[in-house]
Amino acid sequence: MHYAFQSLVLLLLAGAVGCAPAAEPTNAPAIRIVASDWGRAQPDEIEAVVRSAAAVLGDLVERRAPLAIVVQPAAEHPEVEYEKNARGEYVMALSARDRRWAQFAYQFGHEWCHILANFDHRVSANGEPLNQYQWFEEVLCETAALFTLRTLASRWQSAPPYPHWKNYAPWFADYADAMLAADHRSHAQLQVLSSWYAENGEVLARDPYERRRNDFCAAALLPLFESDASQWNALRYLNLEHAAAEPTFAGYLARWQATVPEKHRHFVATIAAAFARKNVADEAAPQLSSTTHVSLQ
């Protein structure tokens, strides 16, 4: 009887859940802004800006387990910590202050990308950090930051967080334009990445924070993502399957290509081909099984 009663209760509960309106699929992270010294900006204003920035990539990646981010002022440079805090939140620090909304969006867009790119999977089987391809993740996150700015520039024209914030929309475009116009990004295009990587690959493997090199590469990749924004979902599969332990960069990209769903495979192959050394058969990306399947929680 006891078990029958329990079953009945469970059935009733299941029925109640079944009758509830379906929850809207949301990829928006829970965001909490630490009340601290942000200069002339209030935490609720910063929250509105970074929520808007989070929605740019959040709207483009497929449903995932809910996650939470706490945002605090950075003493030096923006970063997101490997370890979550005791509340289960990713701890993100931003160096933007005052009402520099474009800088907030740019920095948040970059760090949010690291979270979506499984940055905490870049470790060996025994937990040692593996950083030789981290530069590529930095490049993708720089690309994501520019993409976030340019998306917000148009989104705030029609749907700013508050109606009177519409006038801030051009700030995002101006910020992105100024960066893309910098000398060290000039002539950045997909067609030169092969020779560029041949010259810069070793330096990048040693130092993933070679900013000017990363900036160049990000500017070259941006049009690819802007031509099909749905491909940002491929980010969710970066660094999985112990890709960071691959002996070559071509192998790392081939692992990514084998791990993404079919709809992203051609896109990742296009990126891999852009970096591949041309006309040298043995530099071609190694073939991995295309049946590898990874489920995301």
Q: Using CB under 5 A as the criterion, which residues of the chain lie in contact with Zn ion when the complex forms?
A: 138, 141
Our CB check for Zn ion shows the closer of 106 and 175 to be 106
Instruction: Provide DSSP, 10-24.
Output: HHHHHHHHHHSPPPP
Copy the structure tokens of residue 74. 């950075």
Q: How far is CA 26 from CA 31, 33, 68, 187, 261, in A?
A: 13, 20, 13, 38, 20
Closest C-alpha to 223, from 199, 188, 194: 188
Contacts of 192 (CB under 8 A, 6+ apart): 220
Our CB check for Zn ion shows the closer of 33 and 141 to be 141
Minimum separation from the CB atom of position 114 to Zn ion (A): 6
Minimum separation from the CB atom of position 209 to Zn ion (A): 8
Q: Which helix (H) or strand (E) holds 92?
A: strand 89-94
Our CB check for Zn ion shows the closer of 156 and 175 to be 175
Our CB check for Zn ion shows the closer of 80 and 268 to be 80
Minimum separation from the CB atom of position 16 to Zn ion (A): 44
Spatial distance between the Cα atoms of 138 and 140, rounded to a whole number of angstroms: 5
Minimum separation from the CB atom of position 112 to Zn ion (A): 10
Per DSSP, what are the bridge partners of residue 91? 70
Contact 205, 132 (CB under 8 A): yes
Our CB check for Zn ion shows the closer of 138 and 246 to be 138
Q: How far is CA 143 from CA 65, 109, 126, 157, 166, in A?
A: 24, 9, 31, 22, 24
> In Å, how far from its chain's centre is CA 274?
20
Our CB check for Zn ion shows the closer of 74 and 273 to be 74
Minimum separation from the CB atom of position 287 to Zn ion (A): 30
Minimum separation from the CB atom of position 139 to Zn ion (A): 9
Our CB check for Zn ion shows the closer of 141 and 276 to be 141
Copy the structure tokens of residue 70. 């706490």
Q: Which helix (H) or strand (E) holds 220?
A: helix 211-227
Minimum separation from the CB atom of position 266 to Zn ion (A): 27
